[in-house]
Amino acid sequence: MGLFDIFKEKPTTLGTFHGIDLREWDTGYKQDTKALVKFLNSKLNSMSYEKFIIFLKKRDDHRKFIDEELIDQDLMNKIKITEPKGKVIQGISLIPKTDYFAYPKNLLNHKDTDCFKSFRIVDSKFMYDRKAKVIEGDFKTLVMFNICNDEDYWKKKISSEKSIRSMSFQYIDLDNEEYQLVKIFENKIKNMKDSKLFDNHFKLLDTIFKVLLNTKKRKKYPINRFQSYLAFEE
């Protein structure tokens, strides 16, 4: 199936989801799925679903994901994302602000797509070096937001009355050379009225995976930090 064959199918929308931060169960290399499932089922079985959503909202680094259809776009949707509380230094969050992403809406729930990505290039007051040391300054960070079509997988494990899916963020703190590779897309992919938003999304995707991540530096050290969530439909 070709890329544009995917977009012949009827689009869907995400709705509103609440995410639980998985740092307690996910090291970035291995996820303790058994412990995660046990924890979530114990909560879901001990309270109503409405109270469970309230429980999620009160947890550290909770994030809310809200889908929004775009009037000016046929092929793209917008997902608005709240900022987590997270760790701060001198009142500034270590996680750069990314309050929304545009994504190809026909990839959502598509049978041939496990996960798909959206992108933003944002300002950041902190950079992580290769030893996870925090450096303060004025930087640019490429944020890759991943949405997974894994509802059936989680449905078999967790007794939720509504949909569940995996979502995650990957952060690439750009040096100047890396930033020059993607700078042209910085404003193009955040303009929700740009008639070429869909084309620019896939041009940036190609630049990231065919050029940026193929550099010697990124082959050895692909990303600087990440956040992984399991998201429950409101």
Q: How far apart are the first and last CA of the chain?
A: 33
DSSP 8-state symbol, 126:
E
pLDDT, tens only, 70-123 = 888 889 999 999 988 766 555 556 788 899 999 999 898 888 889 999 999 999
pLDDT, tens only, 8-34 = 555 467 899 999 999 899 877 788 999
What does the domain layout of the chain look like in residue ranges? 12-233
The encoded tokens of residue 59 equal 């947890």
Cβ-based neighbours of 208, under 8 Å, separated by 6 or more? 119, 142, 144, 182
User: pLDDT value at position 134?
Assistant: 80
Cβ-based neighbours of 92, under 8 Å, separated by 6 or more? 125, 126
Collapsing DSSP to helix, strand or coil, 165 comes out as: strand
Strand partners, 127: 135
